[in-house]
Amino acid sequence: MSGDAVLTARNVSIEYEVDPPVKAVRDVSLTLNRGEILGLAGESGCGKSTLAYGINRLLKPPALMTAGDIVFHDRSGEDIDVVGLADEDLRRFRWDKVSMVFQGAMNSLNPVINVRAQLFDVFTTHRPGMSKREKQRRSEELLELVGVDPERLTSFPHELSGGMRQRVMIAMALALDPQVMIMDEPTTALDVVVQRGIIREIMRLREKLGFAVIFITHDLPMLIEISDRIAVMLQGEIVELGTATDIYRTPQHDYTKKLLSSFPSLRGDRGDFVRTGHQPISATLGAASAEGGAA
């Protein structure tokens, strides 16, 4: 983690304009440093995904960002006002600067188009000058990068395992070499061995390519294992922000303590997670011994 900011969100508030209005995100400020993994933890409905969609300008009615600034600090030195981007500039910004891996790969991939066509679509939209041969070569490179046989380019989503589908989504998110990747519960509905493989893949790719990650999940022990810093969210607000070590060893907010104590270790009574030095990953990923994680 280099320490210089790649993305800054200041005083972001998001509402769902229903009757009565729902304040989903309340005055949230976050800084994502270049190359770091920032974990965003909290229970379902606390506003994690809404915040992520707001950062990437993916909100749809009735959701509306009512206040705040989001600034992307490009590696070129330019500061980009994300909130102020017009349609064409916003289209170029997404996937190129900030990409997103959505929750539920099967729902994110088009079920009637094979993997090659879906990767080609990214290049056609964002890199219109690429030849068909260049698209093919890059698509093969991307699948190899995430540990999927390039022959799977001809496969349809239903022909892939859950882990493979998630890896394909990660490959699509990496297609344009983004500087930030937002991952919204990327291991949801996967078994613990496949989760382990996906997490290791993300860590390996982050080390190799140097992108920053906002990793969203309700699974705080997993975040403690993989994150540089963690923000804990409750009812639309950030109630605690600190290094993974500090969150694990000296949590300050009662809600953080409750989240930690809700994950029992493999040994001892409930609550031992907070009081002992057991490895936090054991609470989430189990004692799976398969090093590769058959995904």
Q: What is the pLDDT of residues 248-259, one digit of tens each?
A: 999 999 999 998
Q: What is the pLDDT of residues 115-134, one digit of tens each?
A: 999 999 999 999 999 999 99
Tell me what the mean pLDDT of segment 136-154 comes to: 96
The pLDDT mean for the chain works out to 87
Q: How do strand 79-81 and strand 63-73 relate by DSSP bridges?
A: antiparallel
- What is the rounded CA–CA span in Å between residue 169 and residue 119? 10
Position 188 scores a pLDDT of 75
Distance of CA 210 to the CA centre of its chain: 15
Token duo for residue 121: 């679509």
Position 105 scores a pLDDT of 64
Q: What is the pLDDT confidence band of residue 269, given thresholds at 50, 70 and 90?
A: low
Tell me what the mean pLDDT of segment 279-291 comes to: 38
pLDDT at 1 over 50: no
- What is the rounded CA–CA span in Å between residue 40 and residue 231? 5
Q: What is the pLDDT confidence band of residue 273, given thresholds at 50, 70 and 90?
A: very low
Q: Which residue has the tokens 């998110």?
A: 173
Token duo for residue 257: 């303590």
Q: What is the pLDDT confidence band of residue 192, given thresholds at 50, 70 and 90?
A: confident
